[in-house]
Amino acid sequence: MKSYSLGLYEKAMPNSLSWREKFQAAKEAGYDYVEISIDATEEKISRIYMTKEERFEMVKTMYEVGLPLGTMNVSALTKYSLGNDKPDYVARGMEILEKSIELAADLGVRVVMIPGYDVYYEPSTLETKARFLENLKKAARMAERAGVILGLETMENEFMNTVEKAMKYVTLCDSYYLKIYPDIGNMTNAAVSYKMDVLEDLELGRGNITSLHLKETKPGIYREVPYGEGHVDFEAAIAKAWEMGIRRYVTEFWYTGEDNWKEDLVFAAEKMKKIFEQQEG
């Protein structure tokens, strides 16, 4: 029995697919689970209002196909940020987060990833940072009640682009249910920018990392960089993460209309599996 789990980001597949088709495609490509997206579109946000019957149908589909949802990406909190100066945006963000946690609990999702932004589209200030921390503490209480772990993602802006910065908020919130879900691509860009060691930064999260996003990047470019065309050292990152006891990983990339998207799923899975097999020895 292998000692790791490899997940697939939902957006690596066409949005037009049904959930059954997404689960089947991920399973056929060799993945162990799917990461569901709750992004800022109303279509994706509407998922948090699923009826009990719809939730049961989703769970039933997972069991029938034989592949679960393992993690949830609540990127809607980029727009509806927890530190926002607009009270209605903060209220919407907190509602989205609370209901995402409830949905995760119902669907068996173990980790809910939230972006490490106090604000994104607005300037960061002392007030936005303080508001983010205040609401993050509230979010931790929600997670504790539901028994679902929140994972802060390292992002591309100055606020939380390293594990070291994320650890500040993990420490200040002091909750067993608030941890870090880093993005090695974003971390690599930050390491180049700050002239620091990305593996040393990862080490600072020891004992507080739930899983790792395996995303390719280039300096200044954070999305849609094909594996092998960027500067992320996946071998070194996975070796370090493995030594730290991290056993859950997600390949994060995007479907952009190509006909051979299924081949892309297989390529990403096989690339990472070869590295995992080296760790298993």
Which tens digits make up the pLDDT trace of 23-32?
Answer: 999 999 999 9
Collect all residues with Cβ–Cβ distance below 8 Å to 150 and sequence separation of at least 6.
101, 111, 112, 113, 114, 139, 140, 143, 177, 178, 179
Nearest to 75, CA basis, from 125, 31, 117, 17? 117
Q: What average pLDDT is seen over the chain?
A: 97
Q: Torsions phi, psi of 142, nearest 5?
A: -60, -45
The mean pLDDT of 182-190, rounded to a whole number, is 98
The CA distance from 2 to 7, in Å, is: 14
Q: What percent of the chain has pLDDT over 90?
A: 99
β-strands 149-153, 5-9: how paired? unpaired
Number of neighbours of residue 70 by Cβ within 10 angstroms? 22
Residues across the chain: 281
The CA distance from 228 to 255, in Å, is: 17
Nearest to 42, CA basis, from 77, 76, 84, 13? 76
Query: What local confidence, expressed as pLDDT, does residue 281 receive?
Result: 74
Q: Is the pLDDT of residue 138 over 90?
A: yes
Query: What local confidence, expressed as pLDDT, does residue 280 receive?
Result: 87
Query: What local confidence, expressed as pLDDT, does residue 24 receive?
Result: 98
Query: What local confidence, expressed as pLDDT, does residue 37 receive?
Result: 98
Q: What's the pLDDT band for 149 if we cut at 50, 70, 90?
A: very high
> 52: exposed, middle or buried (C-beta count within 10 Å: 0-12, 13-18, 19+)?
exposed
Q: What's the pLDDT band for 1 if we cut at 50, 70, 90?
A: confident
The mean pLDDT of 149-160, rounded to a whole number, is 96
- CA 215-219-225 angle, to 5 degrees, is 40
Beta bridge partners of 178: 150
Which pLDDT tens digit goes with each residue over 62-113? 999 999 999 999 999 999 999 999 999 999 999 999 999 999 999 999 999 9
Which pLDDT tens digit goes with each residue over 221-276? 999 999 999 999 999 999 999 999 999 999 999 999 999 999 999 999 999 999 99
The mean pLDDT of 177-181, rounded to a whole number, is 98
